Amino acid sequence: MDNLAQLKSYLKERGLVGEEDLQRAEDYALSTNIPLDQALVFLKLVDFQDLGNALAELYNIPYEPL
């Protein structure tokens, strides 16, 4: 499973984003040519901390908010 699929799965499994919102973010990301993680935050579907925690767990690195 690639990193994008892992991120989507992580967010859905933890109830941070639903399938409909995830699809909306993917459509927005494609239409604006930005990464999905940026689209999720821009559309306020997830906050930076939740996204940071998700990425930290997926990449097995600590998350330190700034």
**Which residues are within 8 A (CB) of 35 and not within 5 positions of it... i.e. 6 or more apart?**
29
List the structure tokens of 14. Answer: 């933890």
List the structure tokens of 49. Answer: 């901390």
**Which residues are within 8 A (CB) of 51 and not within 5 positions of it... i.e. 6 or more apart?**
37, 40, 41
Cα dihedral 6, 46, 54, 1, rounded to 10, equals 0
Q: How confident is the model at residue 64 (pLDDT cuts 50, 70, 90)?
A: confident
17-63 per-position pLDDT tens digit: 999 999 999 999 999 999 999 999 999 999 999 999 999 999 999 99
Q: How confident is the model at residue 2 (pLDDT cuts 50, 70, 90)?
A: confident
Q: What is the pLDDT of residue 66?
A: 79
pLDDT higher than 70, residue 1:
no
